[in-house]
A and B are shown apart, each in its own frame.
Chain A
Amino acid sequence: MKIHPLQLLTLGLSCVSFAAAQPVDDTQAKQVIIFGRHAVRTPVLPNNALNAFSAQSYPVFPDVPTGPPPAGIAVITPNGATDETILGSYFHLWLKQEGLLTGNDSADAKFVYFRANDTPLITDTAQAFWTGMLPTAGPPNVNVVSPGSDPLFDPVGAGVALLDYQMAVAAVNGRLGSNPQALATAYAPELALTRSVLLGYPANETPAPLAPANVTDVTDFTANPITATAGSTSVPVNLGGLEQVIYAIDPFVMEYTDGLPMAEVGWGQLNAGSISQIFRLYDLLLNLEYRTPYLARIQSSNVASHIVRSLVQTATGNATPGALATPSTKVIGLIASNTNISGLAGLFSLDWLLPSYQPDVSALSGVLMFELRQSQSTGEYIVRTSYVAQTMDQLRNQTPLTLDAPPASAPVFVPGCSVDNATFDCPLGNFVRVANELIDPHSADLVN
């Protein structure tokens, strides 16, 4: 499939200098696009699989439906749903302050478009967010593509984009000197910490004890080397032994943010700081698989195209091919996974840092947000980008959020576009130009 890049020459949207020139913010929000990750969930592997990696059994998340797999696997936890609704309630307040919501939820719902990737985890997240944002609007109205892959979130699986797996492997190998195994040394501190937690000995014990015979040491890269080989639509590049490490550590952040007793967070051996350090390994995998330029371009062009076209559609007031919802839609919520958010950020070379997290972490429930705003004095449109997420402790403590006690928020600079004001505003015309350079037209469609 092929799309034509947007042409905005007829619009007065390409003024580059106005934002830098204006000392006060006279812009008004016209539309907000919220691209979010699912909430706190149970691990993606059942405990009987995970327990092969650890000296002690992984904890059970409370109040999650049980039964033979897949029951209870990779599903939102009740606390995760609560956190997501808290976040939705914050957006209710903020969007009202910005004039995009009125407080009449039923009326407002007509101008809200939600779309979620079609797994229970993600649709449940979207519903929980909606419930917080529009509490009296009735049942959540969340669009899903089903059956099959959603072209926004899995364009390769949906057939919109074509991934050359050999090229993907080369693109990753060519960032690692064709020596993925060297990651074991580069990330030795994180792998040593991981091993100590999984096998249950103090982090600085020297020499590190042998793994018990009945436990698979996920950091034994002699047995299971780190490699880069062709993957599948869900995991485009298979990173060998690194993948197993990720499965093993993935539960730790969920244990902490779900509020499990600290004795059950890494079996009492982890705190917020060490979880953050261990999750550099997860960030590494996301960076390689989704932020690598070739992979970001193939996997994230379609959602990028739809986001940009939706902003333009609202700015122009005209229905635009490849846009979401309608020109009058004020709030678009897209809910998917960290893989999707990392990919879009990689495509635009966006970075952020929030307190308690590593750089560029796509936190649980966290969102990459694009505000379309219009100057009240000049009529110009700008895009204001930020990354918003509850901190690890806000999630763990289910901290109520208000305008005075908000989630963590990072204003984001859009390379090649942002001007140097405090919110890094990016003129819409420039945003479209940058997007046209980055988006692969062969990896995006014009379906609305």
Chain B
Amino acid sequence: MQIKFVRFLPLALVCASCLTAQTADDTQLKQVIIFGRHSVRAPVAPNAYLNQFSAQQFPDFSVAAGILTPNGEKLETILGGYYRAWLTKEGLLTGNDTADANFVFFHANAIQRTVDTAQHLWSGLLPGAPVNIQYLTPSTANDPLFNPVGAGVAQLDTQKAIDSVMGRIGGNPPALASAYAPEFALARSVLLGYPAGQTPAPAAPANLTDVTDFVANPITVTAGTSPEPLAFGGLSTVGNAIDPFVMEDGDGLPVGWGQMTAGGVSQTSRIYNLVLDLEFRTPYLARVQSSNVASHIVRSMVQSAIGNVLAGSLGTPSTKVVVLIASDINVCGLAGLFHIDWLLPGYQPDFCGPGGALVFELRQSQSTGEHIVRASYIAQTLDQLRNLTPLTLDAPPAIAPVFIPNCSADNATFDCPLGRFVVQAEHAIDPESADLVN
């Protein structure tokens, strides 16, 4: 499929300098697009699989593998409540939930944890309105926004994907073992149950699989299984084994059998971040896998700015709140496509925390009429997750204003003129990997 890109010449949206000239923020929020990850879930691999990697049994999350936990549901409703307070203050919501719901568009990936997340976010955002989430069925369906390759909208050249990753690591995936040795050593000590830094590190018990034994299970780069385009051999196994730690922390459980601090969770999450970076932020992969959602986000903002129905948009021209709920792979991919980075307290750079979202605000200057895009990354901190901390405008989640390269101005919120954002999107998006379906 191929799309023609949005053309904005008739609109006065390309003023690059208007923002730097204005000192006070006279912009008004017209639309917000929230692109979020699901909240806290049980590990994606079942405990029966995970337990072969650890001296002690992995804890029971009370729900099946990959399912949103009850705490995850509560956390998402708390987050929705924060967005409600913020969007009411910004004038996008009125407090009349039933009326407001007409201007809200929710779309979630088909799997349980993303649908459930969206439902609970809605419950916090519009508690007085019936939940209305758009998603595909069955849960195995490939949503073109979140898995455009599986849906047939985008075509991934698997060999090129492998090469584009190999060409970032010198064609030598095993070298990652030494580059990330401190993280693998920490993960091993937690999994096998000995103090980090113990020298020499003890041998793994015979009945366990040492996931950091890359001689037995080398780090490689090969074709993956949808929705994961690649597989990384031993690195993927480590990723599975450490995946529960962030969720244990966020769910309020003992973390790493009581051996892990928040710092340890953050440090081991570097391994997870590495996999996401290679698999979804690598330029070729980001371009193929994230162009469709990027195109729809950009077109939705343009649709709202011009007030006319636009092909390839979400909602309608009068939609004020667009919420897309998917996974970290999706949020990372979009960030990679636009070269955007963030850092939130307690997390590693670019980490997509449970419930975290890339937020794009379409705002309009009240003095000049210009439209701008203001991007941020918003997520509950690990402590806010763990403690089910209520969120208010005075006690918000962590918020990182985000600079959009080649677009943002140097004001405090890094505002990006909409016209220029469209130009950047034209450069970044592969038209062959996006459709014009609304």
**Residues on A facing B (Cβ under 8 Å):** 164, 166-167, 169-171, 173-179, 182-183, 185-186, 188-189, 203-204, 273, 276-277, 293-294, 297, 349, 351-359, 387, 408-416, 418-422, 424, 437
Contact = CB atoms under 8 A, between A and B. Distances in A.
Interface string B42-70: 00000000000000000000000000000
A355 B172 CA distance: 8
B146 interface: no
A277 B169 contact: no
Given A276-B179, A420-B157, A177 B408 contact: no
Given A169-B410, A176-B343, A294-B405, A413 B164 contact: yes
A173 B347 contact: no
A430 to B, nearest CB: 13
Interface of B: 157, 159-160, 162-164, 166-172, 175-176, 178-179, 181-182, 196-197, 263, 266-267, 282-284, 339-349, 377, 398-406, 408-412, 414, 427
A170 B178 CA distance: 34
Contacts of A186: 266, 343, 347-349
A170 B427 CA distance: 22
B283 A415 contact: yes
A351 B172 CA distance: 12
Contacts of A351: 167-169
A346 B264 CA distance: 30
A352 B170 contact: yes
Contacts of B339: 293, 349
Contacts of A413: 163-164, 166-168
Contacts of A164: 410
20 contacts: A169-B410, A174-B403, A175-B349, A177-B377, A177-B398, A177-B402, A182-B343, A186-B343, A186-B348, A204-B196, A277-B181, A293-B339, A352-B169, A353-B172, A359-B179, A410-B172, A411-B171, A414-B167, A418-B164, A422-B171
A343 B405 CA distance: 15
A349 B168 CA distance: 9
B400 A178 contact: yes
Nearest to B196: A204
Contact of A185 (B160, B282, B284, B346): B346
Nearest to A192: B263
Given A170-B408, A276-B179, A204 B170 contact: no
Contacts of B181: 273, 276-277
Given A177-B401, A359-B179, A410-B170, A420 B163 contact: yes
B197 A353 contact: no
B224 to A, nearest CB: 16
Contacts of A182: 343-345
Contacts of A170: 403, 408-411, 414
Q: Which of A359, A387, A412 has the most CB of B within 10 A?
A: A359
Given A185-B263, A293-B339, A413-B163, A349 B170 contact: no
A415 B178 CA distance: 26
A424 B196 CA distance: 40
Secondary structure of the B contact surface, majority rule? loop
A16 to B, nearest CB: 12
Nearest to B400: A177
A141 to B, nearest CB: 32
A437 B409 CA distance: 20
A174 B414 contact: yes
Contacts of B412: 178
B343 A415 contact: no
B342 A437 contact: no
B434 to A, nearest CB: 17
Contacts of A352: 168-170
Given A174-B341, A174-B404, A410-B170, 10 more contacts: A170-B403, A170-B409, A173-B401, A351-B169, A352-B170, A353-B170, A408-B170, A412-B170, A418-B167, A420-B163
A179 B283 CA distance: 27
A2 to B, nearest CB: 17
Given A177-B401, A411-B170, A420-B159, A349 B283 contact: yes
Select the residue from A182, A358, A416 with max chain B CB neighbours within 10 A.
Answer: A182
A293 B408 contact: no
Given A170-B414, A415-B164, A354 B399 contact: no
A374 B166 CA distance: 24
